[in-house]
Structure 1
Amino acid sequence: MDTIDEQTIQQFETIIEGILTSGYGIADDFLTGSDVAALADQLHQRKTAGQFRAAGIGNQQLTVQTAIRGDEILWLDSTTATSAESAFLNRIDTFIAYVNRTCYLGLCEFECHYALYPTGTFYKRHLDQFRTDSRRKLSVICYLNTYWKEADGGQLVLYLPANEQRSEQPITINPTGGRLVCFESARLEHEVLPATRERLSITGWLKTA
């Protein structure tokens, strides 16, 4: 594994500690402002070029149901990635290597897509791991929004399961640019609330073989 600077190690450890204690971890400034701007610009260029499609539901994501989810997506491919996209994918690869070295999760693959939520769209409560495919272990969302305010909406809501100490607990997270949220794909149901402006992210999953 390549040498990792102390700031990156601290970010990775913060994410891991959050997952171990609460089922989810957050790293603000996982991407710099320039990284966010470059990826948001690339997203809009690909959108203008007609590369996005309406997101579907189910394992193959073939059925479009806007009453459940209204985002538009484009899967990222390392073979056609731009320099900004490659830099992001490489950073996630570094995170995977670190998690495997420290937590022995056996992660071997990362799949991800751009997600563009037009104004007013949402994604109803759901679980990321499919009943027929258990390879998704960790869900990752990295936000590409600038100057986002709480009044803009579009929050991610994570539903922490009930336990002996508490009933089910919803956690609301603003989609602040550069912020990364990582959580257990098989454990935490979640939803995306409607926003009053366009909402951008890269959403993906760390998978086992």
Structure 2
Amino acid sequence: MATSTNLFEQIALDLQVHGVSIQSLDLQEPALLALSERLDILSQQDFHKAGIGRQEDHMKNEQVRRDKIHWLEASDPNEALFLTYMQDLKVYLNRRLFLGLFSYECHFAHYEPGAFYKKHLDAFKGEANRILSTVLYLNPDWQEGDGGELAIYDPNDSEQVLLIVPPSYGTLVTFLSDEFPHEVLPAKKARYSIAGWFRVNTSVAGNIDPPQ
């Protein structure tokens, strides 16, 4: 299994050539183990229904998505370990690809049986500061037929599926937020992941965006 530096380099190469990367973390990676430990501690009361949009545009729409989420915070040591890992990835990608990534935010996502997230983009060209999207899967017992796969579509033909990614434990998917439409297919059993976004700084005239 590759070290984190080798993994980061492979992600950078994939993004440079394809705009999307699918890699596997070392299953003994401390940040991954910390997430699993944290997930064991969280109760269902710690998750709430996900919405669509930011701030005043935020709304809940069960026809589009039916997952429940829990945002990661640096105040929790297990969550902080993963946030530090992704900070290291941010620094590496900025050095290699000059992306100007400024911050990272992420949440646990819980898909109950039957839950899904319809096809969408994480950002629209020229209208958002999300640059890279990431998904890390936390399902050690996932089997073919359990559902919940990530479908990634062709940027030039949103009806054409490019990739189907099983939500297997330790799989990390990284892709350009405004390029790749994607959806989560209906889960047939409980499915967990970390969904996250690297942002650039679009603060203007004292309006801090993204919030710190």
- Listed as ranges, the matches of 1:157-196 within 5 Å are 157-162=151-156, 168-196=160-188
Task: Give the number of aligned pairs.
Answer: 198
Q: 1:187 to 1:91 in 2, by over 3 A?
A: same
On the 8 A contact 2:31/2:85 being kept in 1, the answer is no
Q: CA deviation at 1:52?
A: 1.5
RMSD: 2.2
On the 8 A contact 2:131/2:200 being kept in 1, the answer is yes
Which of 7, 14, 26 in structure 1 is aligned with 2:10? 14
Partner of residue 137, structure 2 = 143
Q: Taking CA–CA contacts closer than 8 Å with sequence separation of 6 or more, which of the two structures ends up with the larger relative contact order?
A: 1
Q: TM-score, normalised by structure 1?
A: 0.86
Amino acid at match of 2:196: G
Residues of 2 paired with 1:189 and 1:40: CA distance? 28
Q: CA deviation at 1:58?
A: 1.8
Q: TM-score, normalised by structure 2?
A: 0.85
Q: CA deviation at 1:29?
A: 2.1
Q: 1:37 to 1:96 in 2, by over 3 A?
A: closer
On the 8 A contact 2:53/2:59 being kept in 1, the answer is yes
Q: CA deviation at 1:7?
A: 1.8
SS of aligned partner of 1:107: coil
Q: Give aligned-pair identity as a percent.
A: 37
On the 8 A contact 2:7/2:23 being kept in 1, the answer is yes
Partner of residue 45, structure 1 = 41
Q: CA deviation at 1:168?
A: 3.6
| Deviation sequence 1:104-128 (CA, Å, 0-9, x none) | 1111100111100111100000000
Specify every segment of 5 or more residues in structure 1 that has no aligned partner in the other structure, as ranges. 1-5
Specify every segment of 5 or more residues in structure 2 that has no aligned partner in the other structure, as ranges. 202-212
Partner of residue 3, structure 1 = none
Partner of residue 95, structure 2 = 101
Which of 83, 87, 90 in structure 1 is aligned with 2:81? 87
Amino acid at match of 1:92: M
SS of aligned partner of 2:10: helix
